Amino acid sequence: MDEGALSTVLTGKEHENLERDKTKKKNREAPEDSTFDTEKTRQMSTESNDFTNNSQQNIDDSQSSFKNNQKDSNLITPRMEYLIHTYQVFDSKKVRKKARRMAIQLMEQIGYTVMVVTPGKFAIKYASSAPYHLFFTRVENSKETYNQQFSIIFSEILDRSFGEIVNSLHLTFMVDVIWLYLQYLLAGQCIDMTILYKHKIRDHEALSENITIIKVDRQHEFSSHHTNIMILQYKNGIRVIVSTAGLYSVDWENRTQGLWISPHLPYLPESAHPSDGESPTGFKKDLERYLDKYDQPVLTQWISAVRRVDFSDVNVFLVASVPGIHKGYEANFWGYKKLAYILSRYVTLPPDAQWPIVALSSGVGSFGSTVENWLLKDIIRCMSKETSIGLKNHPQFQFIYPSIENYKQSFDCQTLITPLTYSAELHSKQQWLEQYLYQWKAKRTGRDRAIPCIKSYTRISPDSKRIPWFLLTSANLSKVAWGSTKQYEGYSIGNYEAGVAFIPKLITGTATFPIGEEEDTAVPIFPIPYDLPLSRYDSVDSPFVNEFVDSLNEM
């Protein structure tokens, strides 16, 4: 297969057929996760769903394809080799400018959407995002998002105003290494990097000796590597980024994604103890513990780097999941139990407060035949935690998940792709969920047509002006992402996931964050990606299911 050819990503059923064919016809075996030439331009989506013995859906953001621009596909490999060998050092503005120009040219030839900003200015935008440092991806088809202080494109993360990158670590669900390399080239940064992934867009292991790429094997049949974390290493420290977006172009073009970028974290003195430089939130130890769970020798140097860095300026909590059965006190380190642990120690709501829990997710798991099976018993109970102890009614639960009408109006629908994962068969078994469903509306931020791949959880005051906490995460609303308690088995989690929890007490010294623009307060407004108040599904609405895209593809 021509390495430069662009792909149509297979549907889940087509992938199963391919795997079967690979077993039968080893002489024509295709590389795992490889891509295939097509005769015409086409975009499709795939469901990446697995099921446990209890029919638990394993939520993976759908794989998406790229435009199949064959015009210069035979030139991609030699051009990439030339760029890799030519631009190892970016020691002058002239060299960076030339590399940037060549990267843009190659992206246009391949068929990637070219998203650029003036380089060298992101440090100013980052400073203005304090104290939250929360960003949403710029939407290519929504010009309204271009000049927002909280909008970002990928190459800005790598901007040299942050410093010169000497090495980087990427933990991701899906990666297109060519696209990722070109982003580094746009920013004039070194491409020494390590990538741990679940899916890759195409097969090109020999792209560069500077890149180490490792597929994360499942610890058991139903686990998924769904995390999106970056660690950028500079000569004088590191920076950590926790995101909801994968490392491929479609996820950064016309979808709503979120990411948190840490402050610059300097190295500690050589005489410091590894436990020194901890943040008030315990982020350093939590990150070290999370990386250690991979049991990957390639991560040893990164665990060491984390130990040698001062995290004292980090003001968010790391909320992660790792596959396995977790028992005893150790269970509190992961999933919904980790979030419950944080909320019960740092969040205080007014007495008798009726603040609904608001979940936003791009995938829907298997919850059982009633709300009591898992959603109420585990998730709502967890997210109701606070410091005050006493009997309170469970708060209202509101679940933002795009309807079919939301999808039909989206930019993704124009090319028949989707990051959403939910099956009609599964919904038929839990139609009670419809009473909790709310539309995706984001006109205020110019993202109404940018389907959310972002996942977030919070509670919102009845007047829609305040929140007591906010979680940005890769974790969809599912058991495999958050965990579930099983009798005699302990606390079970299927996926690798990662998110950050924003707690007012640790960031602004207040009990809540203001979210209403009209609020007269010295505390900066916390950015919420969707419109408030929320909009319930209309009587004619139904949740998006992947079969809807299949039906459009068949037309």
* Distance of alpha carbon 528 from alpha carbon 525, whole angstroms: 9
Cβ of 222: how many Cβ atoms within 10 Å? 19
Take residue 377 and report the two structure tokens written for it.
Answer: 């018993």
Q: Which residues are annotated as a binding site?
A: 455
Torsion of Cα atoms, 187 then 189 then 194 then 200, to 10°: 30
**d(C-alpha 337, C-alpha 355), whole Å:** 21
Please tell me the distance from the alpha carbon of residue 492 to that of residue 485, in angstroms, as a whole number. Answer: 6
Q: Which two tokens stand for residue 53?
A: 């013995």
Closest by CA position to 477, among listed 118, 226, 201: 226
Which residue, 175, 246, 185, 201, is CA-closest to 66? Answer: 201
What's the CA dihedral at 188, 190, 191, 195 to 10 degrees?
Answer: -110
Residue 225 annotated to the active site: no
Q: Cα–Cα distance between 43 and 184 in angstroms, integer? A: 26
* Binding region for substrate: 455
The structure tokens listed for 308 are: 């040698």
Phi, psi of 422, deg, nearest 5? -165, 135
- Which amino acid, residue 319? V
204, 226, 264, 326: the catalytic one is: 226
Q: Are strands 151-152 and 174-175 parallel, antiparallel or unpaired?
A: unpaired
Taking 3-state DSSP, the helix, strand and coil percentages for the chain, each rounded to the nearest 5, stand at 30, 20, 50
Residue 213 near residue 47, CB atoms below 8 Å: no
Catalytic residue ranges: 226
